[in-house]
Amino acid sequence: MSHGSFVFTSTALRSFQLDEVDMLERDNYKKKLASRKLNGYQLKKEARDRVSLRSSVALPPAICYDLVIQNALYTGDTEAVQRLFPKGSTTANLIIEPQGGDMRWVARGEGLWSLSYEQELTTPLHITAGRGFTDSLRVLLQRGANVELAPGGTTALHESCETGHPECTKLLLSHGANANAVSEEGLMALHMCTSSESLECAKHLLQYGAAITARSLGEDDTPLHVAAENGLPEHIELYLRYGAAVDKQNDQGLTPLNAACSEQQEAHELERYFRACKLLVEAGSDVRTIDQDKQTPLHMACKHANADVVDLLLTHGADVNAMNYGCKTPMQMILQSVCYKTSQRPERVVRSLLNYGSVLVWHVALPTVLKHCGMSPRTIEVLFNAYARLKITDSWVEAVSPEVFKEHQEFYESLFSLAQTPRSLQHLSRVRLRTFLEGRVLQVVPNLSLPTFLKNYLLLESRGYFH
């Protein structure tokens, strides 16, 4: 340990003296125990007296600024940790105040503010557990580190679960860490399992008695909500086996299914969220549950253009024409998102909604749709082919930017040519049949004795042009 790391005040010296006395007492106690001259009553009395002595002189943990100690902890140097935290010392419960951090304004007095680094207090146990340094963590636990210390608002168990280190999690639990400890933000360790790497952590927590029905103090989320929000199908499957309730609503009215559909989803995450939703639906989650904004899972799945989830929800009875508080239907939700989701094939969502009986967009609003969805010609094609006639005017041409028109010139030329040419008899027959079937298109068309290309035509499969 480097010199000058701690200020040895009279209080600190007194603490060291007490440590020395305690070590001498412990040595004498072992000698007496070995000589077998003490009966059971005397052993218990001495143990109680020692605990009483230590509790009466216990000091708050010292704050460590020693960079040598910090470097050993942050790099997982187990040999250095063994040397810097010797047996019998009380340094395993030091409070670490790392240098740096985010800048924030701090009040220094009446009317005085200064820009200072925001420090987060931590402990050796937190540092090693949060970085997966299992050997160093084991040394600290053997040196008597307190598993329940939470100077920064979270325990070391929270840290190990948040960063997904199952061996550290298991080690902490085996040394008495509380699986249901609540952080300063009202979260339990299960709420911190937000990545695929944390699955084994979640298993250990449940084996050590973590409450599967635990609610976060902030948003009233269960661990199942958290797993659904983060699109973690393996976690969901685990929690369901432990009896998690699929239709519990949080303070926003979201069930785990609502939460999964509401979360922002990138293209590479769609399949993972689909599997998560599939597990919840198969476990009995209600696909028509509305949140505080009267939005159903279908509204949100359309907003995020997850076509597989949309199909899943519609297959299990989702209301294709449900309206939220803003009077928006699922069709309006997807059309507002097309410009941001072109890589996720939004035309698939529009096609599914139409095949399940979605009401059509008011004809007068089609130029606006063309303006906002023009960069996805296939979406325009699928939607516009649901109409028997299109009253194309100059406003339609003006709605398509020159850049979009140039990129998809052949498609838009075929669309604008319909201003002088009526739709084909084949198209009119398709619209007539679909109108007759209403919301039963997908129940009837696949069972018709027709060639596959005609079935796909009736189901509005896009072809890249209008005819």
Q: In whole angstroms, what is the distance from residue 209 CA to residue 399 CA?
A: 60
Question: With bands split at pLDDT 50, 70 and 90, how would you rate the model's confidence at 343?
Answer: very high
Q: Which of 117, 56, 128, 57 is nearest to 92 (CA)?
A: 128
Distance, C-alpha 51 to centroid of its chain: 44
Question: With bands split at pLDDT 50, 70 and 90, how would you rate the model's confidence at 23?
Answer: low
DSSP label of 122: B
Percent of the chain residues topping a pLDDT of 70: 82
Which pLDDT tens digit goes with each residue over 257-312? 999 999 999 999 999 999 999 999 999 999 999 999 999 999 999 999 999 999 99
Percent of the chain residues topping a pLDDT of 90: 73
| pLDDT(103) > 60 | no
- The average confidence (pLDDT) of the chain is 86
Spatial CB neighbours of 40, under 8 Å, sequence gap ≥ 6: none
3-state secondary structure of 37: coil
Q: At what angle do helices 346-355 and 307-315 cross, to 10 degrees?
A: 20
| pLDDT(2) > 90 | no
Q: Which of 158, 153, 159, 123 is nearest to 141 (CA)?
A: 123
Question: With bands split at pLDDT 50, 70 and 90, how would you rate the model's confidence at 420?
Answer: confident
In 230-287, alpha helices (H):
233-241, 256-262, 270-282
Question: With bands split at pLDDT 50, 70 and 90, how would you rate the model's confidence at 438?
Answer: confident
| pLDDT(31) > 90 | no
Average confidence (pLDDT) over 363-385: 95
